[in-house]
Structure 1
Amino acid sequence: MLSKKRKVDIEGRIFNDNWKDHFFFCEVNSKPVCLICSQQVAVAKEYNIKRHYVTPHGEKYDKYAVRLRMQKVNKLEAALKKQQSVFTKSRETHDGAVKANKIAAALKPYSEGEFIKACMLTAAELVCPEKRQAFGNISLSRNTVAERIGDLAGDLNSQLKDKVKSFIAFSVAVDESTDMTDVAQLGIFICGVDASLTVTEEFVEMVPMTNTTMANDVFSSLVKALDRVGVDWSHAVSMATDGAPSVVRKKAGVVVKLGETVQTGNPEQEFRNFHCIIHQEALCSRTLKMDNVMDVVIKTVNFIRAKGLSHQQFDILLSESNIGHGLPYHTEVRWLSRGVVLKRFFQLHAEIGLFMNEKGKPVTELDDPDRLHDLPFLGDIIEHLNMLNVNMQGRSKLVTEYYNSIRGFQIKLGCGRCNYPGATQLISPLCSLCVSLMGIMTIWTGTMTKYHG
């Protein structure tokens, strides 16, 4: 029968002070360190320490008498402590510098840290040459920046865990989207309130869904992410989604599964499901189709942007006209894309008409004044919708603010000063959104009354 292998950390080995005089060793952070070469020995065992001393250093240092030997030990130990103090100051400078740098906040590559440091050294030579060494001690390498960001992420995660413990009620928001590498990414957010009515909104985790994205997969990833931060499932009150079928399905959706988990911990807890308000507003804005305009715009933009040669030739035409901005793509996934494309298309409609005529693909709608009027109108309406969408975004907003934004925009559309039929096309879906917001406000008020009377 094989015996169980002993582990070094449970053997309880203790550093012997006599090893300092005999073998030139001292203890640093519970590890034996050679005073001569600063090398660590893994195990505080006399045989290992003696072997290290005899092999590389014994022949040179055995000749010292007792008194000279003690003086040499003291000198080497003082040098080691001085070296450690230098590293400590350098590390403090490094921490302060990395805190100050904005590389990660600006979404820049970590490798740009070295370029920033080179610029700092050049500026230091001109402005304060005596401080150049202090700037030189700052480490902005990729590994250093990555490690610092990792430390910050760990600290934020620890703070979130402490905050979650104080929640008397919390809600969850999930959104799934596919990145540029065709991997589905599940974004998970949490919003909670403590006994003092302090609201906390935090991003929990971005979970890559490398396999399938069925309801069971989303639910499993969601539960694991929230369990890591230590949520109390009995305090969950709601979940906001983008309305995907796998999430809101009545029999086996993520919402149903999460509600069952909540009621397991608290049978009396009522768990609700909400459709993301901003996503609902984006869906409402799509009711203003105006296909007579959008079909022409999308077809023309795709013709210019789909082929590299056409795109290059169109950019040359713009540069000859001293126009610095080009024509962007229209993307349905990006909610604010349509307004940007319409605005840019109208600004460049003369150049676009000229270019399409040269290509033998004339856009007759650009020559018809009556039909051309629809383009700026739709562009203005979509621009106002984009402004509404941006105003609804942000942290620490209450449902009353969303209601005021939607209701105010709805009143402007129905004020009677605009008789264009396309404007009134938005009023009906926005009314439905206002009704749903009113329902959310009622539920929100009821939840606060439940916990605070």
Structure 2
Amino acid sequence: MSKRKYNPEYLKYGFISIEHREEVLPQCVVCMKTLSNASMKPSLLQRHLGTNHADKKNKDQSYFQRLAENVKRQRLDKTGLFHQKGAEIVKASYEVALLVAKSMKAHTIAESLIMPAAKILVRRVMGEESVAKLESVSLSNNTVKRRIEEMSIDITDQVIAGVRASKFGFAIQVDESTDVTNCCQLLVYIRFTQNNAVKTELLLSQEMCSTTKGKDVFNVLDNFFKLNELDWGKLIGCTTDGAPSMLGRKSGFQAHVKAMSPNVTGVHCFIHRFALSAKVLPPKLLSCLNRIIKMVNFVKTSALNSRLFKLICEDLGSDHTCLVYHTEVRWLSRGNVTKRLFQLRNEILVFLRRRITIFENIWRTRNLS
């Protein structure tokens, strides 16, 4: 098939030419998008300008000439290799920032560890010439922070777009809890349908700075809905814990939600039901749990006992070197404490026997004196 050629008059539609694999392609000077050779027709180029850049379709040719000069200075050559390499460099920076975010490490690790390690690997495997190519990849603290924020915003936009397009509405699950630093966190999960599949995503994570009444929680979520143009009328289900601030008939969170969407179904989270039922233990299980807590406290509350217990675990080749504290707030803590103590039961016995022997020797020494 014959290839179309570029006409300088196409600049009035916002297009210049670019060579790729010995083929002339039209490139938009506004969005930098490259079209196929078959699209090099005035009607198709004008359609691209009117559809994607409607606010610039009435601009004169001098405006597009200035944009074209800026594009040519950026790519340095007619093949656009500079622009293509720059795009790959930025993509690599985003991918490294994603790894840092997934590992939950400090943002400075990219510049202080990842980049030096990458240079060592490239220098040893590919040579010194390839190391210079890594210098153009920006991995500073501020850059990684900005990349992570941009990816977070993009994920939020995708979730919100999916919620808006959901045919059968959506349901939310709200949980408000205070962590060990007395910081109150509000988490909102949302479930909706997308591409004939049910998806569950994190919709909102925000710190509650003041009171945590039902009205306060509702105001935070209502402001988020208004900011992102989400319709309360499409809400079909709301799951919360059993706190009065959530289930109160007059001033609870679900009461405010039902005032906005009367057809919504309020559900008490089954995990919190299990937590409430687990608080009432039979006497035998309760006495066993109390003994476990006493043993854990005996080891953990003393710095000397903790160090000695760690040394015993290391000498015996254990998988763990410490016990887990029990807290009343986290309902899974009981299971975790009991499981860890059972895993280290032999180490506990050895530690207690040694400590009892030491106490007996001290007591005998004092009585003899």
TM-score in same-fold range (> 0.5):
yes
CA–CA distance in structure 1, aligned partners of residues 319 and 261 of structure 2: 56
Shift of 1:258: 0.7
CA contact under 8 A between 2:232 and 2:260: conserved in structure 1?
Answer: yes
Shift of 1:303: 1.6
Corresponding residue number in structure 2 for 1:233:
232
1:107 aligns with 2:99: no
Q: CA distance change for structure 1 residues 229 and 79 in 2, over 3 Å: closer, same or farther? A: closer
Q: How does 1:435-450 map to 2 (within 5 A)?
A: none
TM-score by length of 1: 0.56
CA–CA distance in structure 2, aligned partners of residues 138 and 224 of structure 1: 39
Residues 105-133 of structure 1: per-residue CA shift (max 9 Å, x gap): 12121111011011001000011124222
CA contact under 8 A between 1:239 and 1:272: conserved in structure 2?
Answer: yes
Corresponding residue number in structure 2 for 1:279:
272
Q: CA distance change for structure 1 residues 308 and 118 in 2, over 3 Å: closer, same or farther? A: same
**Structure 1, unaligned runs of 5 or more:** 1-27, 30-76, 264-269, 363-453
Residues 254-288 of structure 1: per-residue CA shift (max 9 Å, x gap): 1001100113xxxxxx2211122333344445555
Corresponding residue number in structure 2 for 1:12:
none
Runs in 1 of length 4+ with deviation above 6 angstroms?
82-87
Q: CA distance change for structure 1 residues 87 and 320 in 2, over 3 Å: closer, same or farther? A: same
Q: CA distance change for structure 1 residues 82 and 91 in 2, over 3 Å: closer, same or farther? A: closer
One of 106, 122, 126 as aligned partner of 1:124:
122
CA–CA distance in structure 1, aligned partners of residues 251 and 336 of structure 2: 39
TM-score by length of 2: 0.67
CA–CA distance in structure 2, aligned partners of residues 199 and 321 of structure 1: 48
1:312 aligns with 2:316: no
Q: CA distance change for structure 1 residues 78 and 238 in 2, over 3 Å: closer, same or farther? A: closer
Shift of 1:217: 1.0
Corresponding residue number in structure 1 for 2:8:
none
Secondary structure at the counterpart of residue 101 of structure 2: coil
Moved more, 197-206 or 236-245: 197-206
Shift of 1:100: 2.6
Q: Which amino acid aligns with 2:179?
A: D
Q: How does 1:295-310 map to 2 (within 5 A)?
A: 295-310=290-305
Corresponding residue number in structure 2 for 1:159:
158
Corresponding residue number in structure 2 for 1:331:
327
Q: CA distance change for structure 1 residues 244 and 87 in 2, over 3 Å: closer, same or farther? A: farther
CA contact under 8 A between 2:225 and 2:231: conserved in structure 1?
Answer: no
Q: CA distance change for structure 1 residues 350 and 201 in 2, over 3 Å: closer, same or farther? A: closer
**Structure 2, unaligned runs of 5 or more:** 1-28, 31-69, 359-369
Corresponding residue number in structure 1 for 2:344:
348
Larger radius of gyration: 1
Shift of 1:358: 4.6
Shift of 1:241: 0.7
CA contact under 8 A between 1:124 and 1:135: conserved in structure 2?
Answer: no
CA–CA distance in structure 1, aligned partners of residues 106 and 292 of structure 2: 36
Residues 133-191 of structure 1: per-residue CA shift (max 9 Å, x gap): 22222222221111111111222222233222223321111111223431101001221
CA–CA distance in structure 2, aligned partners of residues 78 and 155 of structure 1: 26
Corresponding residue number in structure 2 for 1:37:
none
